[in-house]
């Protein structure tokens, strides 16, 4: 069985403890590789390596940093298929999604910051009347910590390390222990690309052991974290008294507001995507769908029909829409929220159950009205697999949940207030703009929101009143990497993206020069 290794000081090394954790393929529910169970000793080695590498890397020209990051891009492009498959096996997402979204975005992250490094400039202020000039240096912070979650593993991992490296920092990074595979493969590519030893260090293991040791280490100057709000609170509690810079990208419970005058077909197709892409395990998915009353019944019928038609299946099948839930623990959490919704009086319009995939092959599914319908045979295992992986058609017994649509719940019940982070959405009617804004803003989170309307004034008015770091009007997940990305309220602090991220990884120093007479 493949044993992953840490990447410390340019070398692939086992954990100091010699112990390993199980890594599951969620589509078969079985262990397929082993992850280093690292601890504070490994973090100590990684921080030392990063500290030693810092003077060299921070004094490397922007052009040289650009060249190395672009070599990493070429290697990811070369290995795109293998990386996409690895992401799919590790996370449970359809390989088609990994191929079309996760990998292209990892490439874009490196490209964006490789080139940004070449285009950053510092400000100067001509202090006319004082016979002086001020200029502001932005100097890399030193060793920084990057901690990422399991839902978009390589996509979010590179979203942090690319700007840190471009800014001239050295990095100690921890991917989620639930989905470590592509970060491990990336470490090999970084070596191949000639990234100097110690510039990037990747330590695998558990959050409370490895993540917390990175956060608490006095030589780590900043923490860039994406994950749950509860973990963010814990990180802030430790890092804030140490005066570390903090970027926290946390949970969400995003509203999707649909007015009756919207472009219906585009809204419908996008809403299916914004609800169930990546099994709903994207922090930007719209999980609370508000529909203006005159459109409610039509939307409900069409939406449920389309959701019911989504194919839940083997993540390696090219026509799979919804893959496996990332872990048994997360599967149980989502199912408990479905039970909660039922207990609270919610009506399940479609889904609501575990998907029994082996039984699905050539079998039956239940239609919305409870009658049975035939499904086409589910085909398995045509894609090439990593050598360690021995899954097959008779073993697809992992953690699958049918895309679930619920109605009849009030906006302030727990199902509509707490983050579920799975293939579960609620639909609710509304009468007026003020009413829906009240519903939308009633949660503790404020990450993203989507608004569907052809009324230009209303679109801008609603956008300005939404308590949300990101608002999409008549679209979803349309990303321009130059724009600020992040959440309000309990969805976090700080913004990633564009020059914001480069600024985060640098410290300003103002120099005031008195000019001679
Ligand atoms: P977690 O908060 O559980 O974990 C995120 C990362 O932090 C993991 O690498 C985890 O390690 C690590 N970690 C756990 N405990 C600690 C600790 N005490 N100190 C330092 N690090 C720690 O989040 P999930 O992985 O479950 O990801 C899902 C969450 O991420 C959702 O809430 C989602 O909304 C949010 N998210 C937010 C995004 C945004 O941009 N705002 C984007 C994507 C996701 P380990 O895996 O070992 O537990």
Atom of ligand 1 nearest to the CA of 238: 19
Same domain, 137 and 241: yes
Same domain, 261 and 201: no
State whether the beta carbon of 281 lies less than 6 angstroms from ligand 1.
no
Same domain, 78 and 104: yes
- Is the pLDDT reported for residue 371 higher than 50? no
- pLDDT score at 357: 59
Residue 374 within a domain:
no
- What are the φ/ψ torsions at residue 385 (nearest 5 degrees)? -120, 155
Q: Which residues contact 107 (CB under 8 A, 6 or more apart)?
A: 73, 76, 77, 80
Residue 425 within a domain:
yes
Residue 112 within a domain:
yes
Q: Kindly state the helix (H) or strand (E) to which residue 115 belongs, with its residue range.
A: helix 103-119
Same domain, 207 and 316: no
Q: Are strands 404-407 and 347-350 parallel, antiparallel or unpaired?
A: antiparallel
- What are the φ/ψ torsions at residue 240 (nearest 5 degrees)? -60, -45
Residue 176 within a domain:
yes
pLDDT, tens digit, for every residue of 384-429?
333 333 344 444 578 999 999 999 999 999 999 999 999 999 999 9
Residue 137, beta-bridge partner list: 509
Domain CATH code at residue 158: 3.40.605.10
Same domain, 290 and 229: no
Same domain, 86 and 201: yes
Pocket test for ligand 1, best of 22, 43, 149, 244 (most atoms within 8 A of CB): 149
- Is the pLDDT reported for residue 362 higher than 70? no
Q: How confident is the model at residue 151 (pLDDT cuts 50, 70, 90)?
A: very high
Same domain, 264 and 215: no
- pLDDT score at 377: 30
Same domain, 151 and 276: no
How many CA within 13 A on the CB side of residue 293? 5
- Is the pLDDT reported for residue 488 higher than 70? yes
State whether the beta carbon of 487 lies less than 6 angstroms from ligand 1.
yes
**Which residue CA neighbors atom 8 of ligand 1 most closely?**
176
Residue 372 within a domain:
no
- pLDDT score at 353: 83
Residues with a catalytic annotation lie at 249, 283
Residue 327 within a domain:
yes
Mean pLDDT, rounded, for 222-251: 98
State whether the beta carbon of 251 lies less than 6 angstroms from ligand 1.
yes
User: In this structure, are residues 338 and 404 in contact, taking their beta carbons and an 8 Å threshold?
Assistant: yes
Residue 364 within a domain:
no
Domain CATH code at residue 428: 3.40.309.10
Same domain, 87 and 222: yes
| Counted domains in the chain | 2
pLDDT, tens digit, for every residue of 272-313?
999 999 999 999 999 999 999 999 999 999 999 999 999 999
Q: How confident is the model at residue 356 (pLDDT cuts 50, 70, 90)?
A: low
Residue 375 within a domain:
no
Same domain, 162 and 101: yes
Same domain, 432 and 345: yes
pLDDT, tens digit, for every residue of 80-113?
999 999 999 999 999 999 999 999 999 999 999 9
Structural domain containing residue 76: 2-250+491-511
Q: How far is the CA of 443 from the centre of ligand 1 (A)?
A: 20
């Amino acid at each position: 069985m493949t044993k992953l290794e840490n990447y410390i000081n340019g070398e692939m090394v086992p954990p100091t403890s010699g112990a390993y954790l199980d890594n599951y393929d969620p589509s078969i529910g079985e262990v397929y590789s082993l992850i280093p169970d690292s601890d504070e000793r490994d973090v100590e080695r990684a921080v030392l390596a990063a500290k030693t590498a810092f003077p060299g890397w921070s004094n490397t020209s922007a052009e040289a940093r650009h060249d190395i990051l672009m070599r990493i891009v070429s290697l990811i492009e070369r290995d795109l298929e293998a990386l996409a498959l690895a992401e799919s096996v590790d996370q449970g997402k359809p390989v088609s999604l990994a191929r079309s979204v996760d990998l292209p975005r990892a490439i874009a992250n490196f490209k964006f910051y490789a080139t940004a490094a070449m285009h950053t400039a510092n400000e100067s202020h001509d202090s006319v009347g004082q016979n002086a000039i001020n200029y502001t240096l932005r100097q890399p912070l030193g060793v920084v910590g990057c901690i990422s979650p399991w839902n978009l593993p390589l996509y979010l991992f590179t979203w942090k390390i690319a700007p840190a490296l471009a800014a001239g920092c050295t990095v100690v990074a921890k991917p989620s222990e639930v989905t470590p595979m592509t970060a491990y493969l990336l470490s090999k590519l970084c070596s191949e690309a000639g990234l100097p030893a110690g510039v990037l260090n990747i330590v695998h293991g558990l959050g409370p052991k490895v993540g917390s040791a990175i956060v608490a280490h006095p030589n780590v100057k900043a923490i860039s974290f994406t994950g749950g709000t509860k973990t963010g609170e814990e990180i802030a509690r430790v890092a804030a008294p140490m005066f570390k810079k903090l970027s926290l990208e946390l949970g969400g419970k995003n509203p999707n507001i649909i007015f009756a005058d919207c472009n219906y077909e585009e809204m419908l197709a996008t809403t299916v995507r914004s609800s169930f892409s990546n099994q709903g395990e994207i922090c930007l998915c719209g999980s609370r769908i508000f529909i203006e009353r005159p459109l409610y019944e039509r939307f409900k019928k069409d939406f449920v029909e389309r959701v019911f038609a989504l194919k839940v299946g083997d993540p390696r099948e090219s026509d799979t829409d919804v893959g496996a839930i990332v872990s048994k623990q997360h599967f149980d959490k989502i199912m408990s929220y479905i039970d909660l919704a039922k207990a609270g009086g919610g009506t399940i319009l479609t889904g609501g159950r575990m998907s029994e995939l082996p039984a699905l092959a050539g079998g039956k599914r239940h239609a919305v009205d409870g009658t049975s319908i035939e499904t086409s045979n589910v085909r398995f295992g045509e894609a090439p697999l990593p050598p360690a992986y021995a899954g097959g058609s008779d073993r697809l017994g992992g953690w699958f949940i049918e895309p679930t649509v619920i109605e009849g719940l009030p906006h302030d019940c727990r199902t509509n207030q707490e983050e579920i982070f799975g293939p579960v959405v609620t639909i609710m009617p509304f009468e007026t703009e003020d009413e829906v804004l009240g519903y939308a803003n009633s949660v503790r989170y404020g990450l993203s929101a989507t608004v569907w309307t052809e009324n230009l004034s209303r679109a801008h008015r609603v956008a300005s009143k939404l308590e949300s770091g990101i608002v999409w009007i008549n679209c979803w997940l349309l990303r321009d990497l130059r724009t600020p990305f992040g959440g309000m309220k309990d969805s976090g602090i700080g913004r990633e993206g564009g020059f914001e991220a480069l600024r985060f990884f640098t410290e300003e120093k103002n120099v005031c020069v008195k000019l001679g007479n």
